[in-house]
Amino acid sequence: MNRPQVDPDTPLYKQECRNILAVSPRIRYAGIINKFGRTLAGGLRKGVVPLLNPDEARNEHFIEATRNQLRKNFEKSIGREDYTLTENEKVKILTLSSQEHFYYVTMDKETPTNEVMKIIDDVKRLVRK
């Protein structure tokens, strides 16, 4: 049987996720998702219980990837997306896109707005060097 081709950038992606998690103890999860919604790398903060089961996470990442791709259709009119922030009852979700993939970061719901903005700035600085 042939094994699927391993992405040579996987160790780099894993390190990026660890770097994002280190930005703030408020960050629950950091992941890198491709344009098809497939997780390239991701990790939970130590001690965090995931809110989504694996199937729900896969579907959520597919939905975000689709939204991300659809938004690209409007870049000519309104400019490139900087980030999106979604607030849910239990978690805040930050997505930042790059050319070939996007970053999916969740934060504790109770994270104050000023701290959310600092996290966004710090993560942007990390991923858009």
Angle at 14 between CA 34 and CA 91, to 5 degrees: 70
Residue-range domain boundaries for the chain: 10-127
CATH class of 10-127: alpha beta
pLDDT beyond 80 at 4: no
pLDDT beyond 80 at 21: yes
How high is the pLDDT of residue 1? 54
CA distance 99 to 115: 27
Going by pLDDT thresholds of 50, 70 and 90, the confidence category of residue 128 is confident
Going by pLDDT thresholds of 50, 70 and 90, the confidence category of residue 3 is low
Q: What is the pTM of this model?
A: 0.90
Q: Please write the tens of the pLDDT for every residue from 27-50.
A: 999 999 998 999 999 999 999 999
Count CB neighbours of 42 within 10 A.
Answer: 20
For residues 119 and 80, the answer to whether their CB atoms sit within 8 Å is: no
- Runs of H (alpha helix) within the chain: 10-21, 54-72, 75-78, 113-127
